[in-house]
A and B are shown apart, each in its own frame.
Chain A
Amino acid sequence: MSSSISPSTVGSAVVKRGLADMLRGGVIMDVVNPEQAKIAEDSGAVAVMALERVPSDIRRDGGVARMSDPQMITEIQAAVTIPVMAKARIGHFAEAQILQALDVDYIDESEVLTPADEENHIDKWGFTVPFVCGATNLGEALRRIGEGACLIRSKGEAGTGNVVEAVRHLRTINAQIRRLQSADASELFALAKDLQAPLALVQEVAATGKLPVPLFCAGGISTPADASLVLQLGAEAVFVGSGIFKSEDPVRMAKAIVEATTHFEDAKIVANVSTGLGEAMRGAETSSLEVRLAERGW
C-alpha cells in the first residue's frame, strides 16, 4: 500500500463538466432560505440554487438584482448535503470570485440578475468552480462554452411559469445541431460565421451531434408535464425556479417534478404524480412582459 501523496489536478474541464454529468436526470430547485433548501433535498432535488428572490419576485420588484448575501448562501450550504449553486451577474467576475471563495459548487452567470457588463461575459476558464450559462440558440451556447462554461441551460423566460420560451430555445438549439450534422465540412466555416461561434466547437458539434457539455432546461417549468416535455425535447435535467415555491403545495410539486424528470417517458407515472397537485404557480403570457430576461446576454 503506497503512502506517498498522489499528484492530482483540480479544476480540469473533466471534473467541471463531470459534476454537470452527475446532475443529469435531476431537478435543480431555486431556494431562498435553508428551510426551502431542506424541503428541496427531502423531495429529491439533485442541487439547489441559492438566491434571495425567485425570478418571479425579481420580475415583480424590479430594480437591480445582484448576487445573494454570502450569509444566506453559507446557511444553505450548511443545511443540505447536495450541491449548492449561486448566481452572479453577467460579466461580474468579482461576484464570481466571491462565490468561488464561498466554495459554491456551481456558478450560474445568469440573465435573471441585472447584467454588469454589456460587452463581455466572465472569462470562466480562470476559475476552479464550474459555470452554467443560459442560451437561446446554438451560437450563444457555443460562445459561452468558448468562454469556459461547463453546462448550458436554455434561458427560457424566467419567472413566468410559461414554458414556451424554453421550448423555443431547446428546439432552436437542436435544429441548429442537426443542420451542422448535415453540413459538408467545407460549409462549416460559413456556418460558424453565421452562428458567430468558435469554428473548432462548430466542427466538434457537427461530428458528435451534441453539445460538448450537458444541456439542461430552465425558464418557465412549473408542472411535471413541463418537465416531461423538455426532457423529451432533449434536455438532460431541469432547473425549476419559481415553479415550486410559488405553487400551492411546494412539497408535492417538488416531488412530482422529480418523479416526472426520472420517468419522463412513462406517461402513466407522469399522470399519477400530476393528479391532485393543487394550483401551479400563476403564469404570465410572455407577449405581455415588460422585461424579457432572455434578451440579456448575447
Chain B
Amino acid sequence: MPRVGVLALQGDVREHVSMLEDAGADVVTVRRAEQMDDLDGLVLPGGESTTIAYLLSTSGIRPVLERKLEEGFSVFGTCAGLILLSSEILDGRSDQWSFGALDVSVRRNGYGRQIASFESVVDVEGVGSVPGVFIRAPKIETWWGDVEVLATLDHGDGAHPVLVRQKNVWGCSFHPELTNDLRVHELFTSSL
C-alpha cells in the first residue's frame, strides 16, 4: 500500500484524503517538514496558490519538497497544486514562485473568474470520460520538454491540456477530488 501525503496547509484537503484512501493508499496529512519523511508520493490540493506558497515557505516544507522533486519524488497537483508545480506562471503575482517541476506555462484564472467556473466532461487517455470541475481554473498555455498530455479540453479557444505528466510529476487544471470518480487518483497511486 503506497504511503501518500496530502499537503494540508490550506485548501480542499479532506476530499483528496478520502479519494486516496478509497484508491487504496495509506494517507498522511502534511503540515510540517518532518512529516515529509517516508512518503511514496504527495498531493498538492486545490486552494489558493499564493496562500499555499506562503505557508510552504513559513513551514519550511518548501526546501524539503524542492530537494525531493530533484530526486524524482512523485507529486500530483490539482488546480493550485498545478500552479505550484509549473515552470512558468502567467498573470500571477509579480513575485510568485513555483517549483518548476512541470514544464508547462500556466495562466492563473485562465478560464476566468468564479462566474465562469464550469463543469465539463474530460476524456483522459487510457481511462475514458471523467467529470471535470473547473473552479477559477489555471489554463495550460504552452508545454515543452518531455511533458505528456493525458487530456485536453476545448473551452472555446482551442484545445488546451488539462491533465499532464512529466515523469513522476502530475498536474491537472480541474478537481477530480470534488467528484465521485476515483480514476484520476488511481492513475497517480498506481504509478507509485
Interface residue count on the A side (C-beta < 8 Å): 45
Nearest residue (CB) in B for A103 is B113
User: What per-residue 1/0 map shows which CB atoms of A3-22 lie under 8 Å from chain B?
Assistant: 11111111110111011011
Any chain A CB within 8 A of the CB of B100?
A: no
Q: Which residue of chain B has the shortest Cβ distance to A41 in the bound complex?
A: B50
Q: Shortest distance in angstroms between A106's beta carbon and chain B's nearest beta carbon?
A: 7
Which of the four size classes fits the interface of chain B? 35 or more
Q: Which of B51-59, B68-76, B183-191 contacts A (4 or more CB under 8 A)?
A: B51-59
Contact with A along B39-78 (1 / 0, CB 8 A): 0000000111011001100110000000000000000000
Q: What's the Cα separation between A5 and B120 when bound, in Å?
A: 10
Is A2 close to B, CB under 8 A? yes
Please name all residues of chain B whose beta carbon is closer than 8 Å to the beta carbon of A3 when the two chains form the complex: 154, 158-159
B82 interfacial by beta-carbon distance below 8 Å: no
A26 contacts B114, CB within 8 Å? no
The answer for the CA separation of A83 and B55 in the assembled complex, in Å, is 18
Q: For the A-B complex with A6-B122, A266-B31 known, give 20 more contacts whose Cβ atoms are closer than 8 Å.
A: A2-B154, A3-B154, A5-B154, A5-B156, A6-B153, A6-B155, A15-B133, A15-B134, A18-B117, A22-B11, A23-B48, A24-B10, A24-B13, A46-B10, A46-B47, A81-B91, A81-B93, A81-B109, A83-B136, A258-B55
Binding site for B on A (CB under 8 A): 1-12, 14-16, 18-19, 21-26, 41, 43-47, 81-83, 100, 103-106, 128-130, 258-259, 262-263, 266
Interface residues of chain B, those whose CB is within 8 Å of chain A, are 8-15, 31, 46-48, 50-51, 54-55, 58-59, 79-80, 91-93, 96, 108-109, 113-123, 133-136, 149, 152-156, 158-159, 175, 178
